[in-house]
Amino acid sequence: LVAQAGIRTFPTFHTGKKILNNGGNISTYESSIPSISPINLLVLQLALMRVERERKKVPVTAPMRAVNAAELDTTTVEAIKRKLIPTKGVRGIFDAAARVIFGAEPAELSLLHFLTYLNAGGGLLKLSEIEGGAQQDRFAEGAQSLSTYLASQLDNKPLLNSPVLKIEQKKTKVVVHSALGKMSATRVIMAIPPNLAGKIQYEPAMPTSRVRLTQGTNMGQTIKCIATYDDTFWRSKGYSGEVVATQGPITVIFDNTSYDGKQPALLAFLVGQEGRRWSEQSAEHRKEMVLANLAKYFGPEALQPTDYVEKDWSKDDWSLGCPTANPTIGVWTTSAHALREPVDRIHFAGTETAKEWMGYMEGALESGERAASEVLKEL
C-alpha cells in the first residue's frame, strides 16, 4: 500500500553503541544481543526457544482451539517467566520487551494472548528488533500520510469529529446515530478497539459474548515523549540512540531524527506500570524526569532541547491507551469467537481482529480487507 501511495519510508537509525540499563548496571553493546554474561545469555536463549516452541502449538487463526487453551488463558506470562527464567537480570530484559510490545506488565497478560500475539507477528524477536523487525521502517511524512492517502481515494469525504453514539439494527438497514444526526446503511463496519466499541449503545443489545469481550479488554499504557535538538550529539559520541532499561520510568529510547536529518530528536517510551505511575504526575515533572534520563545516557546536552512534546494515550478519549488492546485473563477462551464474528449487519475490523500482525498497521489493513470481503459477499 505504501508503494502504491508513493509514500517515502526510511530505516530507523540504529548505527553505533546501544545502551542496556539492567537493574542499574549500565553497559553498551553494538550487536543485536545485549551485553550480558554468557550464563545469562544461555538462559535467555533457552527461554526464547521455549517460547518459540510453545507459540507454534497455538493455531494462528483460532488460538482458543489449542489443546491446552484453557490452561494457557488462565496462566499469566509472569508465571511462565518465573518458571523459565531463574535469573533476575534476564527476567528484567524479558519484562522490558513485554512492556513495550503490549504496554502492560507480564502479570497482566494471559499466556494464550501472549503466544497468539507473537504468532501474528512472527515471534518475540521479530516484534522487538529494528533491522528485520517491527521497528525497521518509518514514514518520511509521518504515519498520518497513509491515512490521508486512503481518505483521498474515497468517493465521499469522511465525516470527522462526529463520534458514533448509537447503532440501531432494523430488518433491512442499520441506523447510525452521531452528533451530526442519523445515517442509514445496509451494513456497518466498526474498526475501533473492542473496549471503545463497548462504549457505543446498541439496539438491540449485543450478544453476551461480545459484551464480555468489550468489557474484558484493556488498552496498554504508553506515554510517548519526544525531545528535539539542534544536532545529533549522541551520534557524534558513537551512540545509536537506542536504550533498553529494565527498571526506572523509561523502558526504551530511540533515535527519532527526521528522514532528512534536519530535525534531530530522541524518543522515549514510558510503558506499563511506570507509564501509569507517571501519567498521574504533572507534565512539567514528567518532562524533567525524561530529560534527566536522556542526559544520564547521552550527556548534559540532552537537558537543552529545542522543543519537547508528549502524548499520553490513556488520556485520549478515542484510544484510551496504546499500543494495543489486551484481553484480560480468560477472555480469549470464553469470548474470542466474537472478535471477528458479525452481529447481524454489523461487521468488525481493526488491528485487534487481525490474524497477521495483530496490533500493528499491517494488521489493520488485513482486517479491513477481510471485513470488506464479508460485506461485499452479503451485498
Q: What is the rounded CA–CA span in Å between residue 49 and residue 145?
A: 38
169-172 long-range CB contacts below 8 Å, 24 or more apart?
169/202, 169/203, 169/204, 169/343, 169/344, 169/345, 169/346
User: 89-145, pLDDT tens digit by residue?
Assistant: 899 999 999 999 999 999 999 999 999 999 999 999 899 889 899 999 999 999 999
Mean model confidence pLDDT for the chain: 94
The number of CA neighbours under 13 Å toward the Cβ of 313 is 21
User: 279-316, pLDDT tens digit by residue?
Assistant: 999 999 999 999 999 999 999 999 999 999 999 999 99
User: 247-277, pLDDT tens digit by residue?
Assistant: 889 999 999 999 999 999 999 999 999 999 9
User: 169-214, pLDDT tens digit by residue?
Assistant: 999 999 999 989 999 999 999 999 999 999 999 999 999 999 999 9
Instruction: Give residue 321's pLDDT band: very low, low, confident or very high (50, 70, 90).
Output: very high
Instruction: Give residue 362's pLDDT band: very low, low, confident or very high (50, 70, 90).
Output: very high
- Residues 70-74 have a mean pLDDT of 96
* All cell numbers assigned to 335: 469470548
In degrees and rounded to multiples of 5, residue 62 shows phi and psi of -145, 70
Instruction: Evaluate if residue 33 carries a pLDDT over 80.
Output: no
In degrees and rounded to multiples of 5, residue 77 shows phi and psi of -65, -30
- Residues 53-67 have a mean pLDDT of 89
Predicted local confidence at residue 6, as pLDDT: 95
Instruction: Give residue 34's pLDDT band: very low, low, confident or very high (50, 70, 90).
Output: confident
Q: What is the rounded CA–CA span in Å between residue 31 and residue 41?
A: 13
Q: What is the rounded CA–CA span in Å between residue 325 and residue 319?
A: 10
Three-state SS annotation for the chain: CHHHHCCCEEECCCCCEEEEEECCEEEEECCCCCCCCHHHHHHHHHHHHHHHHHHCCCCCCCHHHCCCHHHHHCCEHHHHHHHHCCCHHHHHHHHHHHHHHHCCCHHHCEHHHHHHHHHHHCCHHHHHCCCCCCCCEEECCCCHHHHHHHHHCCCCCCCCCCCEEEEEECCCCEEEEECCEEEEECCEEECCCHHHHCCCEEECCCCHHHHHHHHCEEECCEEEEEEECCCCHHHHCCEEEEEEECCCCCCEEEECCCCCCCCCEEEEEEEHHHHHHHHCCCHHHHHHHHHHHHHHHHCHHHHCCCEEEEEEHHHCCCCCCCCCEEECCCHHHHHHHHCCCCECCEEECCHHHCCCCCCCHHHHHHHHHHHHHHHHHHC
Asked whether 235 and 16 are in contact (CB, 8 A), the reply is: yes
Question: What percentage of the chain exceeds 90 in pLDDT?
Answer: 86
The b/e string for 258-274 (b: 16+ C-beta within 10 A; e otherwise) is eeeeeebbbbbbbbbeb
Cell 466499541 appears where?
A: 197
Bridge partners (DSSP) of residue 189 are 347
* Predicted TM-score (pTM) of this structure: 0.94
